[in-house]
Structure 1
Amino acid sequence: MNLLINELYKEDIKHAATLELPWKKLSGKTVLLSGATGLVGSFLIDVLNYRNAEFGSNTKIIALGRSRQRIYDRFGLQGDTDLFKAIEQDVNDDLCPELLSQNADYVLHLASNTHPLQYSTDPIGTIITNIIGLRNMLDFAADKKAERFIFASSVEVYGENRGDTERFAEDYLGYIDCNTMRAGYPESKRAGEALCQAYMKQRELDVVIPRLSRTYGPSMLKTDTKAISQFIKKGVDKENIVLKSEGNQLYSYSYVADAVTGVLYCLFYGKSGEAYNIADPDSDITLKDMAKAIAEYVGTEVIFEIPDATEAAGYSKATKAMLDSAKLKTLGWKADYDMKRGLTRTIDILRTI
């Protein structure tokens, strides 16, 4: 799919790329990102490419992914340029000589298994990307004396709400049953955050940790099996929305443009060693209300269906997970897309590509 020709998507990129941020920090610098073709990583690269094209930012981008050609295809390139380099690298493997020969001023580890089918069919890969893959990226950043490292963590580190808070602040720690297959994702994100703290102490690396809420948007992968992604796909195809539970789960969500600007605020303004929640109260919604909103927008219905065993194994057991983003807002960040605008925008964009 070619998002870059869609006018609405280009508006989103321009909006993020023209925020009043200290972009000069990236001028003449090199930014390395894992997960370059993922939901968040690809949007962030689009923003950096826009800054280079429209403002002459002269920021070199090193994009890591499992397929070099997929990277080129995603960003409409025939090959590397002076300001863009694609490197085929599974971050869980030993880093290749091509990557090790590069330098980077900022390193962002955005690669991760982030949806239920991956959790249930590749639980090993889910864990090691958040630990071994992270370690490889931390070693690279420390060896190259990078100015700052970003580890994209998750709302899932908070576990289940114990009923003692309405929203998860950064110092909240809920319950996770670690002796389950599904615990691999949240526990490895927790371990990853601890690993970042170890590298700060032992390798003197500057690290900031954005904790993303459930993120969605037009840059989502076709293989994404999160409930919201499935709902959106049905909406795009004007099919009935399939709800595989009663739909009472209440979660925080973020449109990808807001998630990326949150990451940028962490990159530019975040305090070293701190974690910051990225979420907005206007995007808190239950699954059934979300399904209803999409169905009403596209003129279809919501139907209920029992998930199969493989799907169910990857589902979160948390029924209420809302983030408190007050800490990030003290840095100046705010969300610009509420739930209704984000959903309808995503559907409208995906319908045209």
Structure 2
Amino acid sequence: MKDLVLKEDLEFILDKVFREGKFNRSTVLVTGATGLVGSLIVKSILYANQVLNAQIIVLASVRNLEKAADTFADFSNESLIFVTDSLLSPLYFDQTINFIVHTASITASKEMVENPTGVLLTAFESTKNLLEYVKAHPSCKMVYISSMEYYGQVADDYTNVTEDKLGYIDLSKSRSCYPESKRVCEALCNAYVVQYNLDVCSARLAQTFGAGVPLSDNRVFAQFAKSALNKTDIILHTMGQSEGNYCYTADTVYGIFVLLQKGEKGHSYNVARNHSTILNMAKMVADKIGNNQIKAEVHIPENLGSLGYAPDVKLKLNSDKLKALGWQPEMDLENMFKRMIRSWELQE
């Protein structure tokens, strides 16, 4: 494995999650398995198989087999089974599944603006079909991967947002399809819990990045990192006053496994470690990562409304509920950037 940063992260997850053997000889279905979080969950399991002989079978739900084979080229073995069946149809598997992590969703801002019905219906139908599987196999535990966008714009006590808070989402905006899809899917999960007593909970992820993010990623944090690498100024297309919540890739994966083991049915859990405005994060990257050789500047485009940016949000997530289950995240924001960039360099 060329990426030694990723290997260090897999060792971290191994120690936190797999040493005690509580997932040994189980079968885990991971949807969205070539996405960032999904792929790291799969890799962490396969790494546990390699190092500890954990004998965990992974069913990786993917849409593109070529991409999947490339994603897991360093990890592929008989424990990894690719599943290409659509999640939008009833689900049948030869294996008995013990755990499901449902990460699959449409996350591109362009899709949210141009295909809002697809975003909503894909989220709802895939989650419904997975819940129907769990209903038919009630010993299976499922974690639904939600988002901090669930909260919308929180007006009261936004500096300490616990899982019981609920903010405002403007449903007249097409981009609202994404946060609203998270709300409806969490509601659907909880409806199945109440009506059928299923073991399902939800993880509301902060924005997750670090080792494992591909160099081709074009989200804001990746653009900032590339600016630092290329010694070019960081250009913001908003005033940067929106407050972001962030969590390192390995810390997030670790948190999801904690929920697979200890998450309470019908409950939701924030998964966040760091907090910053976009502008302050840009300045930190320019200073700490770019060695103060670049600047962070604001240039507002005239067609801002058509670009699919989320509205400014004031939000600081409280993750005490997950920490009460034993989760102890370690990576701060500066080191999230440093480890992501070092991971890119090792892959060249």
TM superposition score normalised by structure 2 = 0.91
Q: CA deviation at 1:78?
A: 9.5
- Farther off after superposition, 11-20 or 296-305: 296-305
Identity %: 31
Find out whether 1:334 has 2:328 as its counterpart: yes
Change (3 A) 1:304 1:206: same
Change (3 A) 1:344 1:148: same
Partner of residue 167, structure 1: 160
Alpha-carbon distance between aligned partners in 2 of 1:176 and 1:36, rounded to the nearest angstrom: 29
- Count of aligned pairs: 344
Listed one character per residue, the Cα deviations across residues 162-193 of structure 1 (whole Å, up to 9, x for unaligned) are 14342210000111122321110111100000
Match of 1:85 among 68, 81, 85: 81
Match of 1:349 among 337, 343, 346: 343
Q: CA deviation at 1:286?
A: 1.3
Q: CA deviation at 1:222?
A: 5.6
Unaligned runs of 5+ in 2: none
Change (3 A) 1:63 1:21: closer
Partner of residue 199, structure 1: 192
Match of 1:293 among 265, 284, 288: 284
Alpha-carbon distance between aligned partners in 2 of 1:142 and 1:27, rounded to the nearest angstrom: 23
Partner of residue 317, structure 1: 311
Q: Segments of 4+ in structure 1 off by > 6 A? A: none
Change (3 A) 1:224 1:20: closer
- Farther off after superposition, 287-296 or 70-79: 70-79
Listed one character per residue, the Cα deviations across residues 39-88 of structure 1 (whole Å, up to 9, x for unaligned) are 11111111111110000100000001111221111011697x43110122
- Farther off after superposition, 325-334 or 286-295: 286-295
Residue 107 of structure 2 aligns to a residue in which SS?
Answer: coil
Change (3 A) 1:78 1:148: closer
1:127–1:184 contact (8 Å) kept in structure 2: yes
Alpha-carbon distance between aligned partners in 2 of 1:159 and 1:209, rounded to the nearest angstrom: 17
Residue 174 of structure 2 aligns to a residue in which SS?
Answer: coil
Partner of residue 52, structure 1: 49
Change (3 A) 1:87 1:239: farther
Residue 297 of structure 2 aligns to a residue in which SS?
Answer: strand
Q: CA deviation at 1:242?
A: 2.2
2:5–2:211 contact (8 Å) kept in structure 1: no
1:116–1:225 contact (8 Å) kept in structure 2: no
- Farther off after superposition, 307-316 or 101-110: 307-316
Q: Mapping of 1:1-353 within 5 angstroms? A: 4-19=1-16, 23-76=20-73, 81-91=77-87, 93-95=88-90, 100-221=93-214, 224-280=217-273, 283-296=274-287, 297-298=289-290, 299-307=293-301, 309=303, 312-353=306-347
- Farther off after superposition, 13-22 or 160-169: 13-22
Residue 175 of structure 2 aligns to a residue in which SS?
Answer: coil
- Farther off after superposition, 309-318 or 338-347: 309-318
Listed one character per residue, the Cα deviations across residues 224-269 of structure 1 (whole Å, up to 9, x for unaligned) are 4432232234334443322111212222111111111111111111
What CA RMSD, in Å, does the superposition of the two structures yield over aligned residues? 2.3
Residue 19 of structure 1 aligns to a residue in which SS?
Answer: helix
2:239–2:279 contact (8 Å) kept in structure 1: yes
Change (3 A) 1:20 1:134: closer
1:111–1:129 contact (8 Å) kept in structure 2: no
Q: CA deviation at 1:202?
A: 3.1
2:271–2:319 contact (8 Å) kept in structure 1: yes
Change (3 A) 1:197 1:167: same
Unaligned runs of 5+ in 1: none
Residue 309 of structure 2 aligns to a residue in which SS?
Answer: coil
Q: CA deviation at 1:324?
A: 0.5
Change (3 A) 1:20 1:132: closer
Instruction: Name the aligned partner's letter for residue 45 of structure 1.
Output: V
Residue 152 of structure 1 aligns to a residue in which SS?
Answer: strand
Alpha-carbon distance between aligned partners in 2 of 1:324 and 1:185, rounded to the nearest angstrom: 22
1:116–1:311 contact (8 Å) kept in structure 2: no
